[in-house]
Amino acid sequence: MPTRSGNTGPVGGNNESFNPAGPLNFEQDASNGTFNSLELYQGWIALDHIRGSSFSLKFGRQEIVKGSEMLLGDKDFYNGISHDGVVGHWDWKKLNLDAWYTRPFQSAAVTNIFGTTIPDHQSVNFYGAWAQWNQWASKGMDVAAYAMLYDDGTQAITPSRRAFWTLGGRTGRNVTGKNGFNWNAELAWQTGDQQDVRAGSTLGDTIKIKATGFEGMIGYNLHSGSTDQQFQVSYARASGDDDATDGDAKAFDPLFQDSHDRYGFADLFNFSDLVSISAGYHII
């Protein structure tokens, strides 16, 4: 269960411990006979508005949640997602900019397979920048653009490397407490290289990553008394790799998406090689 401790002041910090598998640290897992461990879910130090500037810095283990969580979410219905790294934030009048470097995975050792050493590294590095314009915030609208680089040197079987950029933008409007239209639209492109695993290829041979992902929603909020009733229609499409022999990898990678209740209540589908059309109604 989550617990928190923190302090406030010129240098603020926050620590959150999270036991991912049970309410007690000593609950045993009957499937393998091991005990659950208490893990640190978040633990960070924030330096806000350094020397009175618009720049803030946050380093440690932390969540990175952006937009509708199509690519950067917290998976709060499950065990959550946190990142080890540093995030810089610039808070200007008409624009907010976040830039980060995190390491989702770090290998404990260097691998040598049949005399071949690692071509780059054996860790996962994640770099990103997210710009959000504030001119329309008073109307409940957001407009954002982003660029992210995912560099994976931990590929299984052979010590190969996979690195790709995700470039995209989004806009959305969320209306509550009154009648009005809601919408969300986000489009992302992915481009890069990964190890070629086709017959005859050797370590270092690469193929191109060419993938796209899109989510769109339009709806209407009907407000009455203390209740909001929302009607909406949604469409989502993520490319898939329909030909494993053509030298292109077209399967979209959803990165750190919060997928719960996104493409159905059972969470059976991943945002890759997917087309989803839905209509819904719910009361808030």
> Model confidence over 257-283: pLDDT tens digits?
999 888 888 888 999 999 999 999 888
Angle of CA points 150, 250, 84, to nearest 5°: 15
Largest distance between two CA atoms of the chain: 72
CB distance 131 to 95 below 8 Å: yes
Instruction: Please name which of 80, 85, 92, 88 lies closest in space to residue 39, comparing C-alpha atoms.
Output: 80
pLDDT tens digits, residue range 158-200?
556 789 999 999 999 988 889 999 999 999 999 999 877 777 7
Phi and psi angles of residue 50, each rounded to the nearest 5 degrees, phi first: -60, 125
**Which residues lie below 8 Å from residue 186, measured CB to CB, with a gap of 6+?**
67, 68, 70, 168, 169, 170, 171, 172, 214, 215, 216
What span, in angstroms and rounded, lies between the C-alpha atoms of 79 and 82? 10
Q: Report the pLDDT value the prediction gives residue 185, as an integer from 0 to 100.
A: 98
**Reported confidence tier of residue 9, pLDDT bands at 50, 70, 90:** low
Question: Are the C-beta atoms of 244 and 283 separated by less than 8 Å?
Answer: no
DSSP notation for 258-284: --TTTS-TT----SSSEEEEEEEEEE-
Confidence band of 88 (pLDDT split at 50, 70, 90): very high
The model carries a pTM of 0.81
Q: Is the pLDDT of residue 141 over 80?
A: yes
Q: Where are the domains of the chain?
A: 1-46, 48-283
Which carries the bigger pLDDT value, residue 33 or residue 66? 66
User: What is the rounded distance in angstroms from the CA atom of residue 80 to the CA atom of residue 69?
Assistant: 13
> CA torsion angle for 223, 226, 229, 234 (degrees, to 10)?
90
What was the pLDDT predicted at 13? 47
**Res. 112 pLDDT band, cuts 50 70 90:** low
CATH architecture under which domain 48-283 falls: Beta Barrel (2.40)
Start-to-end CA distance of the chain, whole Å, equals 27
For residue 137, give the DSSP letter: G
Structure tokens at 84: 């080890």
88 close to 73: Cβ distance less than 8 angstroms: no
- pLDDT above 90 covers what percent of the chain? 51
Q: Three-state SS across 49-64? A: CHHHCCEEEEEEEECC
For residue 167, the one-letter residue type is L
For residue 165, what pLDDT is reported? 97
pLDDT for 196-219, tens place per residue?
Answer: 777 777 777 788 999 999 999 999
Which pLDDT value is given to residue 131?
Answer: 98
pLDDT over 80 (residue 119): no
Q: What is the pLDDT of residues 62-72, one digit of tens each?
A: 999 999 999 99
* Residue 34 confidence (pLDDT): 55
Radius of gyration of the chain (CA): 21
